[in-house]
C-alpha cells in the first residue's frame, strides 16, 4: 500500500474564512494539535500578508519539531524571502510557491502571456531552492487550465527544482472523473514527473472536494492538501477527516494509507471549531454531532443488535467514546481535572481553580454537567488582548408586556474604565446590543445570529455565534451560558475583542 502524505492548510486557507482570524497563540495551539494528529506538513500561514502572520508562522516553525512546516509565497522574491525567514528555524522547513496557470488567471489577473508566466514560475523555484531543497510549486486554477500548458508548466518547474508539484482545483470546478483524468495524464505524459511528488488541493464549490481528492489518489497523487472540518474559501476545502477515514475504511479499494492518528480527529475538530467560532454542522461526516446518532427505531434496533448494521466506522477510531461522565456540583477538582484530561485539556493549578469556579457556577444552575457543557465552558474562556479588552461588568434586563424591552449594560473598557448605558430594543438582546454599541462608541452591523443548545433539557447551555461587520470587515464572536441573553452578550463582546487583535492582512487570497 502507498503512503499518502497530508499537508494541512487549516492555518492558511482555512483561516481565510471571513471572521475566522486567529491570534498567534491560537494558531500555535492548533499547530500543536495538528502535530499530535500526525499531519506530515503544516502550512502555517502567508508571512508576507502581515507582520502578525509572519510572527505566527515563525513561532510555529520554532516550536513544532515533529512535522514539516511550510508557508505560502507568490512567485516573487520578496514573498519567498518572507517565507524562508519565517520557516527557517523549523526542523523540516519547506517553501510553497503559487502562480496561476489557467488562461482566466493569466489574462484576467496577471495580464501576461503563457511564456512569461512559465518563465516567472521556474525562476521563482530556482530562487527558492537556494534556501531549502524542499520547494512546492502550486499551479493555481489547474482545474480550468489548458491541459497541454499545464503539462509544460509541471515539466518546467520540476526541471527548475520543485520537489512537490501541486494541482489545485481552485474554484471547485472539476468532477471526479475529470480531475482524475488530469492527474492520470500528468503522470503519463510529463517525462520528469518521477522526480517530484504530485499533490492536489481541491475546493468544495460543487460539493465534490473529497471525491476529487480521492479520485486523484486513485490516479497516483501522493500528497493531499486539506483542512480540518473542511474550512476554507467560499464553500471550503477538502475535509481532512473525510479523506483520512475513507482511506482507512476502504483501504482495499484505494491501496493507500496516511500516518494520521485517527483517534485525534474529534479532538482536533472541536479545537478548530472552538477557536475559529465556526461550528460544525450536525450532519457533517465523521465529526458532526449526528455522525454516530440513530433516531429511527429500525436503525436503533439494528445498532443495538449489531453496530455494523448501520455504522461503517467505530466511533472510538475517531476519538468519540460511548461513555459519558456526568459531573455535578458535588464533583471535586480531581474528578474535573481527570475528565478535562480525557477531553484533551491540561491545566495548571491556577487555571483549574478558575475553571472549577466557573464549573460550580454552571453546576449550581444545572443538575448535571456533560462533556458538551465542559467543552462549551472551555470555549467560553475569556480571550482578550494583552492590553485589555471589553469585559462585561453587569447586566440588567427589563421585560414588561406592552413596553419595549430595556437593558442596562455595564462594561469594563480596554483602558480600564467602567461605564454603563441603557437602551431599548425589539427584544432583550437587541436592547443589550444597542447599549453596548453606545458604550463602545462604534457601530456594528449584525449579519447573522445563531443560537444552539449545547445539551438537552430546559437547563441546557445556550451557545451563540454572531457574525458582525465592523469597519467593513467581518468578525465572528461566540458566547456560552445557560442564560440566552448572557450568551448573546458574551458573543457580541467576543467579536469586538477580536477587532482589537486583528492584524492587517493583504486582500490577495491565493489557491
DSSP string, 218-265: HTT--EEEEBGGG--STT-B-BHHHHHHHHHHTHHHH-EE----GGGH
Report how far residue 18's alpha carbon sits from residue 258's, in angstroms, rounded to the nearest whole number.
30
Report how far residue 84's alpha carbon sits from residue 63's, in angstroms, rounded to the nearest whole number.
16
Under a CB-based contact definition with an 8 Å cutoff, are residues 65 and 32 in contact?
no
pLDDT confidence of residue 384: 43
445-453 and 406-412: which strand pairing?
unpaired
Q: How far is CA 400 from CA 407, 425, 433, in A?
A: 12, 13, 19
Under a CB-based contact definition with an 8 Å cutoff, are residues 180 and 216 in contact?
yes
19 Ramachandran zone, left/alpha/beta (phi>0; psi -120 to 50): left
- The topology under which CATH files domain 391-501 is Double Stranded RNA Binding Domain (3.30.160)
Q: How far is CA 94 from CA 32, 72, 91, 364, in A?
A: 18, 10, 10, 51
Of 212, 193, 192, 187, which is closest to residue 201 (Cα–Cα)? 212
Report how far residue 170's alpha carbon sits from residue 189's, in angstroms, rounded to the nearest whole number.
23
Alpha-helical segments (H) within 343-477? 349-365, 371-380, 428-440
CATH 3.20.20.70 residue ranges in the chain?
2-276
In a 10 Å sphere around its CB, with 0-12 CB exposed, 13-18 middle and 19+ buried, how is residue 498 labelled? Answer: buried
3-state secondary structure of 4: coil
pLDDT confidence of residue 191: 97
pLDDT confidence of residue 83: 98
Of 342, 176, 202, which is closest to residue 267 (Cα–Cα)? 342
pLDDT confidence of residue 322: 55
Q: How far is CA 102 from CA 106, 198, 208, 382, in A?
A: 6, 18, 20, 45
Report how far residue 437's alpha carbon sits from residue 448's, in angstroms, rounded to the nearest whole number.
17
pLDDT confidence of residue 504: 38
In a 10 Å sphere around its CB, with 0-12 CB exposed, 13-18 middle and 19+ buried, how is residue 493 labelled? Answer: buried
The overall longest dimension of the chain from CA atoms, in Å, is 79
Under a CB-based contact definition with an 8 Å cutoff, are residues 394 and 453 in contact?
no
Under a CB-based contact definition with an 8 Å cutoff, are residues 41 and 296 in contact?
no
Bridge partners for 237 per DSSP: 203
In a 10 Å sphere around its CB, with 0-12 CB exposed, 13-18 middle and 19+ buried, how is residue 387 labelled? Answer: exposed
One pLDDT digit (tens) per residue for the chain, 511 residues: 999 999 999 999 998 887 777 888 899 999 999 999 999 999 999 999 989 899 999 999 999 998 999 999 999 999 999 999 999 999 999 999 999 999 999 999 999 999 999 999 999 999 999 999 999 999 999 999 999 999 999 999 999 999 999 999 999 999 999 999 999 999 999 999 999 999 999 999 999 999 999 999 999 999 999 999 999 999 999 999 999 999 999 999 999 999 999 999 999 998 998 888 788 888 899 988 777 765 455 655 565 577 677 778 888 888 876 545 567 777 778 878 888 887 778 888 888 888 888 888 888 877 677 777 787 777 666 454 444 689 999 999 999 999 999 999 999 998 889 999 999 999 999 999 999 999 999 999 999 898 888 776 777 788 888 989 998 888 888 888 888 999 999 999 989 988 887 643 444 445 4
pLDDT confidence of residue 362: 83
Identify the residue whose cell numbers are 434586563: 397
- CATH code of 2-276, in short, is 3.20.20.70
CATH 3.30.160.270 residue ranges in the chain?
391-501
Under a CB-based contact definition with an 8 Å cutoff, are residues 327 and 350 in contact?
no
Report how far residue 504's alpha carbon sits from residue 222's, in angstroms, rounded to the nearest whole number.
35
pLDDT confidence of residue 452: 82
83-107 burial code (b ≥16 CB/10 A, e <16): bbbbbeebebbbbbbbbbbbeebbe
pLDDT confidence of residue 346: 84
Q: What are the strands, taking DSSP E only, across 60-219?
A: 68-70, 72-74, 95-100, 135-140, 164-169, 197-202
Report how far residue 106's alpha carbon sits from residue 371's, in angstroms, rounded to the nearest whole number.
51
pLDDT confidence of residue 382: 47
Contacts of 68 (CB under 8 A, 6+ apart): 40, 41, 42, 90, 92, 93, 94, 134
Number of H helices, E strands in the chain: 17, 17
Under a CB-based contact definition with an 8 Å cutoff, are residues 444 and 464 in contact?
no
- Provide the grid cell at 379: 470555549
Amino acid at each position: 500500500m502507498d503512503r499518502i502524505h497530508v499537508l494541512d492548510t487549516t492555518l492558511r486557507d482555512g483561516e481565510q474564512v471571513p471572521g475566522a482570524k486567529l491570534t498567534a497563540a491560537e494558531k500555535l495551539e492548533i499547530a500543536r494539535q495538528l502535530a499530535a494528529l500526525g499531519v506530515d506538513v503544516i502550512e502555517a500561514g502567508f508571512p508576507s500578508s502581515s507582520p502578525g502572520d509572519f510572527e505566527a508562522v515563525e513561532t510555529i516553525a520554532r516550536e513544532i519539531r515533529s512535522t514539516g512546516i511550510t508557508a505560502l509565497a507568490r512567485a516573487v522574491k520578496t514573498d519567498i524571502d518572507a517565507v524562508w525567514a519565517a520557516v527557517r528555524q523549523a526542523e523540516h522547513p519547506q517553501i510553497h510557491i503559487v502562480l496561476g496557470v489557467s488562461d482566466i488567471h493569466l489574462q484576467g489577473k496577471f495580464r501576461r502571456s503563457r511564456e512569461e508566466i512559465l518563465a516567472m514560475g521556474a525562476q521563482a523555484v530556482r530562487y527558492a531552492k537556494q534556501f531549502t531543497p524542499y520547494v512546492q510549486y502550486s499551479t493555481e486554477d489547474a482545474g480550468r487550465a489548458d491541459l497541454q500548458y499545464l503539462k509544460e508548466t509541471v515539466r518546467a518547474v520540476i526541471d527548475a527544482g520543485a520537489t512537490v508539484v501541486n494541482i489545485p482545483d481552485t474554484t471547485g470546478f472539476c468532477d471526479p472523473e475529470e480531475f482524475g483524468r488530469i492527474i492520470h495524464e500528468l503522470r503519463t505524459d510529463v517525462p520528469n514527473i518521477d522526480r517530484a511528488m504530485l499533490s492536489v488541493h481541491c475546493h468544495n464549490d460543487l460539493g465534490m472536494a473529497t471525491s476529487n481528492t480521492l479520485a486523484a489518489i486513485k490516479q497516483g497523487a501522493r500528497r493531499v492538501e486539506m483542512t480540518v472540518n473542511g474550512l476554507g474559501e467560499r464553500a471550503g476545502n477538502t475535509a481532512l477527516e473525510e479523506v483520512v477515514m475513507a482511506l482507512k475504511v476502504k483501504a482495499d479499494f484505494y491501496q493507500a494509507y496516511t500516518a494520521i492518528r485517527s483517534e485525534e480527529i474529534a479532538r482536533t475538530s472541536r479545537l478548530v471549531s472552538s477557536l475559529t467560532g465556526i461550528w460544525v454542522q450536525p450532519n457533517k461526516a465523521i465529526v458532526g454531532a449526528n455522525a454516530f446518532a440513530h433516531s429511527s427505531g429500525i436503525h436503533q434496533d439494528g445498532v443495538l443488535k449489531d453496530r455494523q448494521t448501520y455504522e461503517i466506522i467505530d466511533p472510538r477510531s475517531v476519538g468519540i467514546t460511548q461513555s459519558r461522565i456526568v459531573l455535578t456540583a458535588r464533583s471535586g477538582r480531581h474528578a474535573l481535572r481527570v475528565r478535562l484530561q480525557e477531553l484533551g485539556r491540561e491545566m495548571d493549578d491556577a487555571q483549574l481553580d478558575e475553571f472549577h469556579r466557573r464549573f460550580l457556577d454552571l453546576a449550581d444552575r444545572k443538575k448535571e454537567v456533560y462533556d458538551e457543557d465542559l467543552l462549551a465552558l472551555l470555549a467560553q474562556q475569556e480571550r482578550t488582548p494583552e492590553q485589555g479588552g471589553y469585559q462585561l461588568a453587569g447586566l440588567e434586563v427589563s421585560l414588561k408586556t406592552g413596553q419595549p424591552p430595556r437593558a442596562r449594560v455595564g462594561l469594563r473598557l480596554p483602558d480600564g474604565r467602567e461605564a454603563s448605558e441603557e437602551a431599548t430594543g425589539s427584544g432583550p438582546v437587541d436592547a443589550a446590543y444597542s447599549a453596548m454599541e453606545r458604550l463602545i462608541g462604534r457601530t456594528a452591523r449584525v449579519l447573522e445570529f445563531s443560537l444552539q443548545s449545547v445539551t438537552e433539557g430546559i437547563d441546557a447551555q445556550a451557545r451563540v455565534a454572531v457574525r458582525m461587520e465592523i469597519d467593513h470587515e467581518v468578525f465572528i464572536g461566540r458566547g456560552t451560558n445557560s442564560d440566552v441573553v448572557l450568551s448573546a452578550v458574551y458573543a457580541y463582546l467576543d467579536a469586538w475583542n477580536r477587532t482589537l487583535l486583528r492584524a492587517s492582512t493583504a486582500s490577495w487570497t491565493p489557491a
